[in-house]
Structure 1
């Protein structure tokens, strides 16, 4: 049902029961703009991520040792499985946004909560990849020549503090970067839809 159909139903003798008030059609129509922006962002991200995954597959060939290459490709396999699962979910979400018809406030509510769910999935996927990356970095350090011999020697408290601090800073930076990216790419459009939704919540 498009906006012209809604208008014609409203003009019928039954008063257009179940159809949103025409004065609010423009508000619902305005929700298409942030939804289109989200779909555009998803298309760009999908292409970038596909290129990154393909390039990451070649990186393991340049590891310093055979054991490190094996470990890398094991983690790469886990990452690939995770990417395939989330990419399938994101693709279904992308298709739903494309077929959603914002002709009534109930549809707007459905789209709003669908976007919220997508953001949470995106956040959990990013953190999962971050943990795999940290696992790879840790393994790389542990398998470097001479590292295990160095571990057998006395390690000062200051050295331990520096190592822990580096991990905390890296994790903190990744979390902040992820949240800022989500807010910039999806959060601001979700706020626009929420504003429209809140303006319509009292409409019967």
Structure 2
């Protein structure tokens, strides 16, 4: 075999090795999605830490007048809120670490694993958040009572007497709870979708496109 034949085989082999994978764009798209997801996870966690620090300090702000046994209830609820939140942030932490692995973008099977890991993390996020809604509602009640939480709790405890003497108060509290509940649910659904849910759909669409091209 002469030099020209060797050169021809080398060129042919080089062309074969550098052939572009037709599915590369889909893996690249998922890679870009993961970058955005990591930013969202980091941003939300930092926001959560700042919010928790504010809530710890809040009872000492004169405006809210949170004192006595109401202050004890407040911190007990805040403790539950903190531990409950850490449950789903633990899931996102593992997901965050796993997205830095390059191997995730090397096969369809790895993309499927990534998809279901994210889906499970989002479901954990929503489930934990819904379980924490009662604590959130009571904390809202304490915030906006502006020092009247103890008095209002007494009226609620003696429901029948309050209903006969001051029914408008119970109607006001009931409407406030309903509005607060709707507000919390809307915020939860919007946050879960715009921070994570829409990216889950993007990953799924790339997986579906890969299936069509196979």
* d(CA) in 2 for partners of 1:33, 1:69: 46
Q: Is the 8 A contact 1:60 1:73 kept in 2?
A: no
State how 1:1-204 maps to structure 2 within 5 Å.
22-62=21-61, 63-99=65-101, 101-138=104-141, 143-145=149-151, 148=154, 151=158, 152-153=161-162, 154-155=164-165, 159-202=169-212
> Could you say which residue in structure 2 is the equivalent of 1:18?
none
Q: Which runs of 5+ in 2 are unaligned?
A: 1-12
Deviation at 1:66, TM superposition (A): 1.4
* d(CA) in 1 for partners of 2:130, 2:98: 25
More helix per residue: 2
* d(CA) in 2 for partners of 1:60, 1:163: 22
Question: How many residues end up aligned between the 2 structures?
Answer: 187
Q: Is the 8 A contact 1:61 1:69 kept in 2?
A: no
Alignment RMSD (CA, Å): 2.8
Q: Is the 8 A contact 1:34 1:189 kept in 2?
A: yes
Which of structures 1 and 2 has the bigger CA Rg? 2
Q: Tell me the secondary structure at the aligned position of residue 201 of structure 1.
A: helix
Deviation at 1:139, TM superposition (A): 6.3
Alpha-carbon spacing, 1:147–1:193, altered in 2? closer, same or farther (3 Å): closer
> Could you say which residue in structure 2 is the equivalent of 1:4?
none
Describe the superposition over 1:158-199 as per-residue Cα deviations: whole angstroms up to 9, x where unpaired.
Answer: 554443232222211211221122222222222211111111
* d(CA) in 2 for partners of 1:132, 1:112: 31
Alpha-carbon spacing, 1:86–1:189, altered in 2? closer, same or farther (3 Å): closer
| TM-score scaled by length of structure 2 | 0.74
| TM-score scaled by length of structure 1 | 0.77
Describe the superposition over 1:55-99 as per-residue Cα deviations: whole angstroms up to 9, x where unpaired.
Answer: 211223454331111111111221222233332222112101122
* d(CA) in 1 for partners of 2:29, 2:38: 15
* d(CA) in 1 for partners of 2:124, 2:36: 18
